[in-house]
Structure 1
Amino acid sequence: MKKKILILAAVMLISLLAACAKPTAQPQPVNNEKNEKNNEEAIDVLVVGGGGAGMVAGITAAENGSKVIIVEKMPMLGGNTIISATGITASDTDLHKQAGIPFTVEDHIKKTMETGKNLPDEKLVRILAESSNDAYQWLVSLGLKYKLDEKEPWWIIPVEGHYGRQLFDAYNKKVEELGDKIEIRLDTKATELIVEGDKVVGAKVVGKDGKEIIIKANAVVMATGGFGNAPELIGEYNPKYAGAHNIMSTAGPTGEGFKMAVAVGAGTRDMEHHQMRPLATPGYWIRETVINEEGLGGILVNASAVRFTNETLKPLELVPEILKQQDRIAYVVFDSEVAATKNGTSAIKNGKMIEAATIEELAEKLGLDAAKLRETVDKYNEGTDEFGRSTMGKVTVGPFYGVKVAPSSHYTMAGITINENAQVTNEAGEPIPGLYAAGEVVGGLYGAGRIAGNNTLDDIVFGKIAGKNASAK
C-alpha cells in the first residue's frame, strides 16, 4: 500500500512539473493572481490605432522580435489611410531617374518647408525626405506597383486601383505572415495610458463586451490619427474653425489618443493649424477654381440663395465665412463652361453635383428659393460685386450645376511632439520613457500647410522608426 502511495505521488509531481513547463503562444500576464483580479495582460509592444501608421509600427515591431498587440476602437482597420485615393510623396526614386525628371531630397525638404510656411521641424522633415525612397521601395517589396505623375513629380501613384485599399491589402497580408507575433483586436478602445514612475507601461482598454483590460507593455505606440471627427477640439484651438463639419473623415479620429498623450505630459505644437476644405462633400472636396477662376468662376450662395462673400478668398479664409451661414453650409453653383474644365468635370462626377436645364429648376432641386437664386445669378452676371471680387465670371450657359458644401477638416497638422526617434516628448523637449507616436496624431511635420502624399509617407517613415525603437530591449 505504501508503495502505491509513493508511485501515485511521483506521478502527480511529474504531471505538475510538465504543466508548469508547457509553452504557450499567448502573452503571459505579469502575475496570475493579479490577472484574475484585474484582467491584466502583458506584451512587448502595444500599438494604439489600426490605421496606416499603427499597422506599419506594429509590423515593424513584430519583425524586430517583439510580441505585439494592435488595438483599434473601430470594427475594422484602416483609419483615414484606407480612404486615401491619391498616392505617396517620395524623392530620388528609380521612377524619377527612369523618367529623367528630378525631384531630389533637397527639393522635397524645400517644398515641405515652404508649403508649411517654414513652421515644420526641419530635423523631422529631413528624416522624412531622406527616408522616402526606402519607404517607396518597401511598398514595392510588398508587391505594390507605382508610376510617377510627371506633371507633379513629387507624386508617386498606383499604376491602377485605389491607393488606400491596396496599402491595407498588403499590410493585412504581412500581418498574416507574422502569425502569432502580432495580434489585432478590433472594437477595442484605449481609454488611458498607464504610468509608473516616469515611464509609460501600458494602457487601459475596453473591449466590445464593455470589460476593461489592463495591457502592460514595454512600450506603447500612439497611432490614433488626428481630429477629423472632433470639430469641438479643432474649434478649441482655432475658434475660426469652430463648428466645422467632418464629412471628409472616417468615424475614428476623434482626438482621444491626443488627449491621452497630453494627459501624461506630451508637448504639442502648431495647434491652430488644420487643413480645412471649404467646399467639401461626403468623401470629396471640390477644387476652389470652380468658383474663382477668372472669367469662368461660379458662385457660392447660402440657404437663402444669396451670395455672402468674395469667392476668390483663400480657401482657409472661405471656411469661416461659410461657417457663419445658416446650418454652416453653402451651395456651389456654376454653368456648363465651368463644367467643361478639369475641376468642373471632377466636381460633377465625384461631388455628385445636381444638373438642371435652368437656374430655377436647379434651385428647386437644391431646395432653394427659385426667384431669389435667379435674382442672385442675374446680379452677379451684371459684373459688379459688393464683396470686392476683382475677377468676375458669369453663370449664363446651361445646363447648370449645384451642390451643397460643408467646410470640413481634411488633415490635422497639429499634434503631439516627437523627436527623431519617434519618442513622444514633453513641453521641455525631453522624451517620455516608453511612449512613441507616428501618423496624424503627431505635430511638427507640416506647420501651416501640407504636401499631399507626405502624410502617407510619414505613416511609413515614422511608423517604422516608432516600431523599431519600441522593440528595443
Structure 2
Amino acid sequence: MKKGKFAGLAVMAAAAAAVIALSGPIYTSLDKSGKKNVQEAAAEGRNENEKEKQADIVIIGAGGAGMTAAVEAVQKGATNLVVLEKMPITGGNTVRATGGLNAAETPYQEAEGIEDSVELFVEDTMKGGKDLNDPKLVQVMAEQSADAVTWVNEIGGDLSVVGQFGGASVKRIHRPSDTSAVGPMLVNALNAKLKELDVPVFLETEAVHILLSEEGAVQGVQAVTKGGEPYTISCKAVILATGGFGANSEMVVKYKKDLDGFCTTNHSGATGDGIVMAEELKAGLVDIDQIQTHPTVNPDTTTMYTEGVRGNGAILVNRSGKRFVNELETRDVVSEAILNQEGKTCFMVFDQSVRDSLSAIEKYIGQGIITQADTPEELAEALGVDKDQLKATLEQYAKYQAEGKDTEFGRESMEVPLSMPPYYAGLCAPAVHHTMGGVKIDTTTQVLKEDGSAIPGLFAAGEVVGGVHGANRLGGNAVTDIVVFGRLAGSAAYDYVAANGGFTEKTMKLAEEGDAAQPEVKGNYKDGTYTGTGKGNNGEITVEVVVKDGSVTAIELTDHHETPGIYEAAEKTVTSSIIRTQSTSVDGVSGATNSSKGIKEAVAAALEKAK
C-alpha cells in the first residue's frame, strides 16, 4: 500500500519554475515562458533572447545510466554538474525494468554455491549477441558487474537474491530481496542519493544540440523548456544518457522494416534524441539495425512479464495447448517461435508455487491480465485451448522436471513441476523492447567518430550506446550495462574536467518551491472533504478531495498500488490541472496513462458526492 500527497504544485506555464519532489532531489524545470513549443524553439536555434547558464558537466537524460553517472561524478568530487530530462519524471526505461542485474563472482552467488566466472559471463553474453558485440565492452561489463551490485547496495538499493534468466549458463541475475521489480527499486535509490548529494535535475527540459568549439571539443548544450524557452548551458563535458529509440516507430522501421506495426514496452520518451545529436557531431554508430523484441508482453496492455516468471518455472503453450520452445532460450529465439504460432501469440502458464516465488506477479494479477483456474482443464476452457492437450502438456512437463531432463526442447532449469493449484495463464506476444545499436564508444565511454577518433569531452552510457549487446541482449544485462557504464561515464567526465581547467562553483541554482496550484475558475461544489475510488494501473486508487469556498483546493492519493517513478507524473500533472480547471476533463500523462485515468475517475467519484 502506498500513500501519496499532492495538494497542487505550481503548473509550468507562465508562472515561476515548479519544483517537484519525487522521493529524490529537488527536481525543477528551466521553463519560465510558455510561449512556444520545443520544435519551434529548436528550429530557431540560438538568438539574442536565449538565456545563458554554466556548468562543468551536463548529463542528458535522467534514466538509470544518467542518474548513475551523476552520482558517481559527484562522489568523485564534481561540484558543478546538472542533469537535463525532457520527461516530467526521472527513471526513463529503467523504472520499467522488471528482472535484475546480471553479475558474476558475487558474494550472493558464493553463498548459494553458484559457480560463475567473468569468463563465463563474457561467453554467455557474446553467444547471446551472436558475437556481434564489442568483446572489449563486454569484458569491461563482466569484470565490473560484481562491483556494480556492491555499489547499488551501498547507495541504498537492494540486490541480494540470485535467480536464473534466459541465455545465462548459471544463476546470475541479482534481484531485490522481496523479488519485486528491479527498476523501481533502483530508480528510488538513485533519486534518494541525488537528493542527498544535492544534484540539480531539470525536468521537462529537452537538450536539442551539443555544441563544439572550433577545435572540436564539447563546449555547451542547447536546451529548450516545455514552454519553449531556449537555453545555452556552457560546459566542459557532456554525458549522453538519453536511452534508445524503441518508442520511435518511424526510427524503428527505418532500421528494421519487419517490425512495422509492433507495439513497444518502452516509455514514450525513448525516441533516439541522443543518437540524432551525436550524429550531428559525426559520431559513429554501431549495430543500429539490431532491435530486440521481448517475447512475453501482454498485447492488450503492453505490460511486460518479467523473465523471472519463466525463470522460476513458467512454460509457454500455443493455442493448441502445446509447448513449442525452450522457454529459457534467448529473447530473439523465443520471440521468433511465438511469431510462428497461431495468432502470433501464446500463453504463459504457471502454478501457485511460481506465484508464491515472485512478488512481481501480483502486479499482473492486479491489472486483470492473468487468468486463474483450479484445474488445468478449467484453465484450458477459460483460455479456449484443448483441455486434454493442456493437461497432457503439464503432465509431461512434470515428468521432465522429476527426471531432470527435457528431452523435447532441452530446457535445463525446471524449478518446479507446475502441479500446485490454482493454475494461471497470461496472453503473450513479442513487442519492441531494446535497441542494441547506438553511439560508438571506447571502454572509457568516450564517444568515437567513425574513424575511431574521440570527440573530446563527450561521453555516453546506457541504451544510447551500441556494441555492448550485439544482435541480442540477455535479460539482466541492461541493468548491468547502465550501472557499469554509467559509473564509468561519470568517472571519465570527472577526470576530463579535472584535467581541463578543473571544477567551478555551482552556478545552476534551483528554484524555490512553487506555490500550490490555484483554481483559475470558480467551482460549484459543496464545501467538505470527499473520497473516491478509480481503477489505476495496478489496482484501485483512492483519493481525498478538499473543497473550500465551492472550489477544489487539494487532492491527496490516500491509497494506491501504482509503480514508483511512473505514477508521480500523473499525481502532479493531473491533480494540478483538475484544481486549476475545476474539472476532471483534463489531459493525462503519456507514460502514466492508466494512473492518469484512475486518478481522474477517483476524483470524479468524489466530486459526485459534492454536488
Q: TM-score, normalised by structure 1?
A: 0.73
Q: Residue 84 of structure 2 corresponds to which residue in structure 1? A: 71
Query: Which of 208, 211, 217 is the aligned partner of 1:194?
Result: 211
Shift of 1:185: 0.3
Equivalents in 2 of 1:402, 1:145: separation in Å? 29
2 CA distance for matches of 1:435 and 1:297? 44
What corresponds to 1:55 in structure 2?
67
CA distance in 2, matches of 1:107, 1:342: 30
Partner amino acid, structure 2, of 1:451: L
Amino acid at match of 1:271: I
Alignment of 1:358-397 (within 5 A): none
Name the residue aligned to 2:228: 210
Task: Quickly say closer, same or farther: Cα 1:467–1:150, change in 2 above 3 A.
Answer: closer
- How has the CA–CA distance of structure 1 residues 235 and 433 changed in structure 2, closer, same or farther, with 3 Å as cutoff? same
Q: 1:459 to 1:287 in 2, by over 3 A?
A: closer
Question: Of 92, 96, 105, which aligns to 2:118?
Answer: 105
Across the two proteins, how many residue pairs are aligned to each other?
400
Q: 1:178 & 1:344 partners in 2: Cα distance?
A: 39
In 2, Cα distance between the equivalents of 1:469 and 1:150?
32
State whether structure 2 residue 303 is matched by structure 1 residue 283. yes
The one of 142, 145, 163 aligned to 1:129 = 142
CA separation in 1, counterparts of 2:189 and 2:361?
32
1:359 deviation in Å?
A: 10
Distance 1:164 1:401, change over 3 A: closer
Residues 24-423 of structure 1: pairs in structure 2 closer than 5 A: 37-63=49-75, 64-149=77-162, 152-160=170-178, 161-179=180-198, 182-197=199-214, 198-246=216-264, 248-281=265-298, 282-285=302-305, 298-300=317-319, 316=332, 330-332=344-346, 338-340=349-351, 350=364, 352-354=369-371, 405-423=428-446
Is the CA contact (8 Å cut-off) linking 1:331 and 1:403 kept in structure 2? no
1:144 and 1:316, CA in 2 relative to 1: closer, same or farther beyond 3 A?
Answer: closer
1:387-441 CA-to-partner distances (Å, cap 9, x unmatched) read: xxxx89xxxxxx9987665531122211111001101111111111221100011
Task: Check 1:132–1:355 CA distance in 2 against 1; reply closer, same or farther (3 A cut).
Answer: closer
Is the partner of 2:72 in helix, strand or coil?
Answer: helix
Residue of structure 2 equivalent to 1:30: none
Deviation at 1:124, TM superposition (A): 1.1
SS of corresponding position for 2:235: strand
CA 1:323–1:59: 2 relative to 1, 3 Å = same
Q: How far apart are the structure 2 equivalents of 1:47 and 1:324?
A: 42
Kept in 1: contact 2:352–2:423 (CA 8 A)? no
Cα distance in 1 for residues equivalent to 2:296 and 2:149: 32
Change (3 A) 1:450 1:321: closer
Distance 1:137 1:106, change over 3 A: same
Between structure 1 and structure 2, the one with the greater Rg is: 1
Calculate percent identity across the aligned residue pairs.
32
| 1:360/1:322 CA distance change after superposition, 3 Å | closer
Question: How far apart are the structure 2 equivalents of 1:312 and 1:44?
Answer: 52
Query: The residue matched to 2:200 in structure 1 has which SS?
Result: strand
Letter in 1 for 2:183: G
- Partner in structure 2 of residue 23 of structure 1: none
Q: Is the 8 A contact 2:62 2:85 kept in 1?
A: yes
Which structure 2 segments of 5+ residues have no match?
Answer: 1-45, 165-169, 393-407, 410-421, 501-611
C-alpha separation between the residues in 2 aligned to 1:223 and 1:464? 12
CA contact (8 A) 2:99 2:308 kept: no
Q: Deviations over 1:109-156 (max 9, x none)?
A: 222112212221111111111112222221222233332426543122
**Counterpart of 2:232 in structure 1: which amino acid?**
I
RMSD (CA atoms): 3.9
Looking at structure 1, the residues matched to 127 and 61 of structure 2 have their Cα atoms a distance apart, in angstroms, of: 30
Change (3 A) 1:318 1:231: farther
Cα separation, partners in 2 of 1:68 and 1:312, compared to 1, 3 Å: same
Q: Of residues 449, 467, 471 in structure 1, which corresponds to 2:490?
A: 467
Gaps of 5+ in 1: 1-33, 302-306, 364-372, 384-390, 393-398
User: CA 1:312/1:344 → structure 2, altered by over 3 Å: closer, same or farther?
Assistant: farther
Between the aligned partners of 2:65 and 2:221, the Cα distance in structure 1 is 18
Instruction: Supply the distance in 1 between the matched residues of 2:489 and 2:146 (Cα, whole angstroms).
Output: 18
Name the SS of the counterpart of 1:407 in structure 2.
Answer: strand
Cα distance in structure 2, aligned partners of 1:178 and 1:190: 23
The amino acid across from 2:193 in the alignment is K
Distance, in Å, in 1 between the alignment partners of 2:370 and 2:238 is: 45
Contact 2:63 2:243 in 1 (8 A): yes
CA deviations on 1:416-472 (whole Å, 9 max, x unpaired) are 110011011111111112211000111111112222222111211111111122122
Shift of 1:171: 1.4
Match for 2:460 among 431, 437, 444? 437
Q: Where is the helix percentage greater, Structure 1 or Structure 2? A: 1
Judged with a 3 Å threshold, the aligned counterparts in structure 2 of structure 1 residues 422 and 359 are, in CA distance, closer, same or farther, namely closer
Aligned residues of 2:324 and 2:337 also touching (Cα < 8 A) = no
Q: Alpha carbons of 1:323 and 1:451: their partners in 2 closer, same or farther (altered >3 Å)? A: closer
**Alpha-carbon deviations, 1:47-87, whole Å to 9, x = none?**
00000100011122223224111011111000111122222
Separation in structure 2 between the aligned mates of residue 405 and residue 216 of structure 1, nearest angstrom: 47
Q: Is the 8 A contact 2:109 2:162 kept in 1?
A: no
Residues 120, 172 of structure 1: alpha-carbon distance in 2 compared, 3 angstrom cutoff: same
